[in-house]
A and B are shown apart, each in its own frame.
Chain A
Amino acid sequence: MKTYTYTEKKDTRSGFGAGLTELGRTNPNVVALCADLIGSLKMNQFIEENPERFFQIGIAEANMMGIAAGLTIGGKIPFTGTFANFSTGRVYDQIRQSIAYSNKNVKICASHAGLTLGEDGATHQILEDIGLMKMLPGMTVINTCDYNQTKAATIAIADYDGPVYLRFGRPAVPIFTPEDQKFEIGKAVKLTEGTDVTLVATGHLVWEALEASKALYEKGISAEVINIHTIKPLDEKTILNSVAKTGCIVTAEEHNFLGGLGESVARTLALHNPTPQEFVATNDTFGESGTPAQLMEKYGLNSASIVEKAQAVIKRK
């Protein structure tokens, strides 16, 4: 079995910051906007190098989304930065009308998604944003898993013409994808080959799925781990090819089971190859204060939960 290790942990938001910095040096049309969270979004370097291409909006996210839409008229490629909650739910109608329906080339970059935001609690921990964004026609939805992938995704979306929601997080997590990877929107990455169960994960849960696959291997279970960084458009082919072999699947995400990756996968399976599926996701609940690790354990979003669900879904074959 192919195994993954890491030597360093880093936050995915720093991957965004690094990607944005590189874009600042290579693409003169890239501009950045922030609603009073420069430090949290790691945008300092871009701002230092390109002060004329940065727009501090203040605490006014609705205005930020509208200004971003307007900046595309004139050929700019705006990257907005704030927390996931304030990037989506707070400004849903602005995104819907001025960006998605108007098909504006805005990159909505959202940090501190999900429970791993931690101690600030449920007011800031959005677990509904993937659903909100994937429901918008024409919106691409990406949730990256580590520093390197987030950096690569940030750079890649500048070359794609259309609105994108890029979701990443706050805590330091293992770096296990290659530094020089080519990020392809909508193309899943198969991390391990397996025959007994497919584990499809996105964001912070990808590493947990790899950890789960090791534990399952020790129990004599062969798991195929797929990193789904793009939830929309979904790489249906890779998922269907995998379940054709394994006959069952576990989806894992730092999001409500309603509206998340799991539901998108379930639709694909229902249409093409009905297959037993278990969901590692939050169960229609808000989060709460705590450390990221405590929260992921309490809400069942870690490798132990994936192992448990994998064993359960194999029995349903």
Chain B
Amino acid sequence: MPNTQQLKDLTTQVRRDILRMVHKVNSGHPGGSLGCTEFLVALYSEIMDRKDHFDMDGIGEDIFFLSNGHISPVFYSVLARTGYFSVDELNTFRLINSRLQGHPTTHEGLEGIRIASGSLGQGMSVALGAAQAKKLNGDTHLVYSLHGDGELQEGQNWEAIMYASAKKVDNIIATIDLNEKQIDGATDDVLPMGSIKAKFEAFDWTVIDIEEGNDIDAILKGMAEAKAKTGKGKPVCVLLKTMMGNGVDFMMHTHAWHGKAPNDEQLEIALTQNPETLGDY
């Protein structure tokens, strides 16, 4: 059984990292990062069967692709705090000569990252390719991926979604961050997509709902259910209902913090709401 308190402590510390990273350079995407903090903490701490070192091929372990690359702050913080590189390096986020680019890249050789992402809609295809490589290699480990809900407006996703079920790629769990928000506002105002669940089901995917996407226990339970559905001839989709800006009261219930950093005063309030647990970088 996972130690829930440890996961909660890590979640709080990752939130602090996110806030301090974007504040320092006055840029970056805190809203979606905070919304997906519990998910990525759970994924890297409990859900994935990972090796303790990084190698690009990821043979013999579960691997993860972040398609909505703009939530790089949470990705970098979780990678650092689960041992891929030093947490001190979080200090260099978005600075010149840094490996922690605004959006994730393999270009700088940062451990834990297997594909560049940021230009949206490409990660599902990449994850499918990696999943098919696993099958060719006789590797029974899984491929996980994360995508924004607004990101599903990119057409390449639907090429990939159609392909995955047609080719029975059943060793993938693609999670959709259902925060119902994007840069210009609510997804229902920007481009209403109707039922994302019905769409995935119509494309013959198995769909698992996680209604409490910011609750660690709910995530662990939902992802265990998703994992149990793999290997049955269908790709698996998790609809993870999250709160953008979760854990910072003034960043919740709005899309305003999608791509905006807090000022000094706002940072102080936000950090007060998330007291230091594992030590700041």
A-to-B contact residues, CB < 8 Å: 31, 52-53, 55, 57-58, 60, 62-76, 78, 93-94, 96-98, 101-104
Contact = CB atoms under 8 A, between A and B. Distances in A.
B129 A67 contact: yes
Contacts of B128: 63, 66-67, 70
B113 to A, nearest CB: 9
B48 interface: no
B106 A102 contact: yes
Contact of A62 (B105, B123, B125): B125
Interface in B120-135: 122-134
Given A52-B136, A62-B125, A70-B130, 14 more contacts: A66-B129, A66-B156, A67-B160, A69-B126, A69-B129, A70-B126, A70-B127, A71-B130, A73-B57, A74-B59, A74-B130, A96-B119, A97-B119, A98-B126
A74 B134 contact: yes
A66 B122 contact: yes
Contacts of A93: 119, 122
B163 A71 contact: no
B235 interface: no
A63 B160 contact: yes
Contacts of B134: 74
A302 B63 CA distance: 52
Contacts of B114: 73
A53 B127 CA distance: 17
Contacts of A76: 133, 136
Contact of B116 (A62, A70, A102): A102
25 contacts: A55-B132, A58-B166, A62-B125, A62-B159, A65-B125, A66-B122, A66-B125, A66-B126, A66-B128, A66-B160, A70-B65, A70-B115, A71-B129, A71-B133, A73-B56, A73-B58, A73-B126, A73-B130, A74-B57, A75-B137, A93-B119, A97-B117, A98-B122, A98-B125, A102-B116
B118 interface: yes
A101 B116 contact: yes
A103 B156 CA distance: 21
Contact of A70 (B106, B117, B133, B167): B133
Nearest to A96: B119
B107 interface: yes
Contacts of A64: 125
**Chain B interface residue bracket vs A:** 35 or more
Interface of B: 56-59, 63, 65, 105-107, 114-119, 122-134, 136-137, 139, 155-156, 159-160, 162-163, 166-167
A144 to B, nearest CB: 27
Contact of A74 (B118, B119, B139, B166): B139
A68 B129 contact: yes
Nearest to B104: A102
B136 A53 contact: yes
Most A CB within 10 A of own CB, among B58, B114, B133: B133
A75 B56 CA distance: 9
Contacts of B122: 62, 66, 93-94, 97-98
B156 A73 contact: no
A94 B160 CA distance: 13
Contacts of A65: 125
Contacts of B130: 70-71, 73-74
Nearest to B106: A102
A97 B123 CA distance: 10
B106 A103 contact: yes
A71 B57 CA distance: 9
Contacts of A72: 129, 133
A76 B117 CA distance: 21
